[in-house]
Amino acid sequence: PGAVRSCPPRTGLLPGGIKIILAPMDEGVLVVVGIGGMGEAIVRASGAGHRVVLADVNEEALETTAAALREAGHDVIPHRVDVADPASVGDLAAAAAALGPVRALAHTAGLSPVQATAERIVAVDLLGVAYALEAFAEVIAPGGAGVIISSNSGYLVGPLPAEQEADLAHASTAELARVPCVQEAIASDPGARSGAKSFGNSSGGFWPSPSRVQMTSPLAARTPLCTPALCPPETSWRRR
C-alpha cells in the first residue's frame, strides 16, 4: 500500500504513422487539448492507467469522444475550453491540477484557412498555444512534458530572419498577434495562416526545469482538420 507502481513507457502511432511515446506518469494527469484525429489517437496510445483531461471547444463532440474513450477503458474527464480565451485556458489548467500532478500536456487544437478567418486562426493557433504554455507552466509537475502539435504549413514561408525571431521571442502573449511578421504573413499568404502555430517555435515561454516542451510539425494526415485543406480549388497553395 502506498507504493508507486512501475510500468514501462507506452508507445503508439498517430495518424500518418507518427510515433509518440509518453513515459509512465505514476497515476498523474494527462491533458489533451483538441479532440480531432490526433488528440483522440494520443489518448488511445498513451492514456491507459492515467486520468485524462480531454478538452475542446465543441461540447457535444467532446462528450461523444469522451464516451467512446471511456468505452475503450480510459479514465476520461471532459472539460470544455476555448483556447483563444486565456481565462478559459487558466480554468482548464486549474481543473487538471485539482485531479493530481499534471505530468503531460498534448496540445493539438488548431484551425486551417478553410475553417476560419485569419484573425480566428491567429487567436487559436498562435495565441492559444501561448496561453496554454503560460497556464500550464504554473501547474506542470517536476519532470513533466508538453507536446505541441504544430503545422507544417509554417515552413512554406521558409525560416524567419533573425530580427523576426527576436520580435516573436521578446513579445508578450498580448503582443504576439500584433508582431509585424505575423500581420504580414496572414495578410499575404493563406498557407502562413495555417502555419500560425509554427510561430510558437520562436515565441513559446519557459517551463520550470526539469519540465520540457516539444513542438512537432507532422506531415499531412487524414484528420477532420487536414482533409478539407487538401481539397481543391481554394487550397491550391497547399499542393504546390
Q: Residue 100 pLDDT more than 90?
A: yes
pLDDT in tens, 170-180: 888 888 888 89
pLDDT at site 3: 34
pLDDT at site 186: 72
Q: Residue 147 pLDDT more than 60?
A: yes
Q: Residues 16-33: what's their mean pLDDT? A: 68
pLDDT at site 65: 96
Q: Residues 216-221: what's their mean pLDDT? A: 65
* 196 or 90, greater pLDDT: 90
Q: Look at the pTM and tell me if it is higher than 0.85.
A: no
Binning pLDDT at 50, 70 and 90, where does residue 169 land? confident
* C-beta of residue 54 within 8 angstroms of C-beta of residue 66: yes
pLDDT at site 200: 52
| CB contact burial 121-140 (16+ within 10 A = b; e otherwise) | bbbbbbbbbbbbbbbbbebb
Radius of gyration over every alpha carbon of the chain, rounded to an integer in angstroms: 18
pLDDT at site 203: 47
How far apart are the C-alpha atoms of 62 and 221, rounded to whole Å? 21
